[in-house]
Structure 1
């Protein structure tokens, strides 16, 4: 299963049109933020924080947390290293556990957010529908 790339405008339109399974999390996809200490200063609304420093050891928990979502989107600050690595690790974990071969489960689409949170906040940092806990002084 290849990892796909999603741009910030597509993701924002998904977020604004997605049905909500709870007050804060869209039911059609999950967003996984793998930033470490650089998580401070804001994050995408509904994103699950799974720092890259402990990502591998938390894969079983993450898989349970996102298994009901048809799509999972990974990102870090720039989505050049940690985000793509996490997406690949998650995909390999699904292969190892047999979830990719389970015909009774729908296949998840795995994405990496192009440009990561750095590009995201440039357009959507001040939009409280899309970004939470945003501190513009950190990004400007």
Structure 2
């Protein structure tokens, strides 16, 4: 069982996230080291953060393992929902726990590596393999939750087409 809890989650402000998006050399695409996961369900209408991936919270049970594998090369993964009070943090927690589980499984499998022909490898068997192993060491991935969710994001950046796609003012104008 995982020891990761909601108290372990870290947050990112809308200002810090927007700065990262605007300073990217890959704009209008997301920076290659960043993923933004929007876990809103039917409340996804009315706009979304540019380049975000929509994974409704109702699908997280079966999509989380796939997400962990797909996003493994990202340095930063940001989760959010409409307010980032329930679904966003829960999705980030689920992602972290699944990542921890899969990492533990892969460590167990890699300990029993066998050569062609069925011979066990010795520790000092091959320098090239050692070098490749050190290159493949796991980097730490930051998993964050967007403070205030999409509501706070769109209050400041909704009309900005460099940061928000498909924003509909009439949906958000009355307030959330």
TM norm structure 1 = 0.92
Alpha-carbon RMSD across the aligned residues, in angstroms, is 2.0
Question: Residues 24 and 30 of structure 2 are in contact (CA less than 8 Å); yes or no, is this contact kept in structure 1?
Answer: no
Pick the aligned partner of 1:19 from 5, 19, 25.
25
Deviations 1:43-82 (A, max 9, x none): 0000000110011210122122211110000000000000
Give how far 1:29 is off: 1.0
Q: Which residue of 1 aligns with 2:75?
A: 70
Matched, 1:6 2:6: no
Structure ranking higher in helix proportion: 2
Matched, 1:139 2:172: yes
TM norm structure 2 = 0.74
Q: Which residue of 1 aligns with 2:131?
A: none
CA–CA distance in structure 2, aligned partners of residues 37 and 75 of structure 1:
14
What residue ranges of structure 1 are gaps of 5+ in the alignment?
none
Question: Residues 77 and 143 of structure 2 are in contact (CA less than 8 Å); yes or no, is this contact kept in structure 1?
Answer: yes
Runs of at least 4 residues of structure 1 off by over 6 A?
Answer: none
What residue ranges of structure 2 are gaps of 5+ in the alignment?
108-135
CA–CA distance in structure 2, aligned partners of residues 137 and 23 of structure 1:
25
Give how far 1:104 is off: 1.0
Count of residue pairs the alignment pairs up: 139
Give the 3-state SS of the residue equivalent to 2:100 in structure 1: helix
CA–CA distance in structure 1, aligned partners of residues 158 and 33 of structure 2:
22
Deviations 1:13-50 (A, max 9, x none): 01111232x86232121100000000000000000001
Q: Which residue of 2 aligns with 1:88?
A: 93
